[in-house]
Amino acid sequence: MFARLRHYLLRRKYVAGARLTQFLAPDVRREVEIVDAAELAEGYVSARIRTWNVLYAVNGIAAMPEFEAARRVAITDLWNWTGQPWGGPVPK
């Protein structure tokens, strides 16, 4: 029952063409554009991702990056942040 509900909610959130955004740290934002959600039942989507520091972009320290090429990524890894907990520069 709960698995069906979870799958239903995932299908509504991760549809092709959706653009999701979330702050990973106080000043670091990640935008995810879903390209294909055919493997959603297995926990994967094809997505284009960009991660950028909002304060750096607003103050002209760094340019806002373009979306990277589409790749297959696990839904559990979409919002993982490997940088400092306070934000700072985006790791390459």
Q: What is the pLDDT of residue 26?
A: 94
Q: What is the pLDDT of residue 34?
A: 97
Q: What is the pLDDT of residue 54?
A: 94
pLDDT block averages, 10 residues each, the chain of length 92? 87 95 95 96 95 93 94 95 88 76
DSSP 26: T
3-state secondary structure of 23: strand
Q: What is the pLDDT of residue 92?
A: 72
CA atoms within 13 A on the CB side of 3: 4
Q: What is the pLDDT of residue 87?
A: 87
pTM of the full predicted structure?
A: 0.85
Q: What is the pLDDT of residue 40?
A: 92
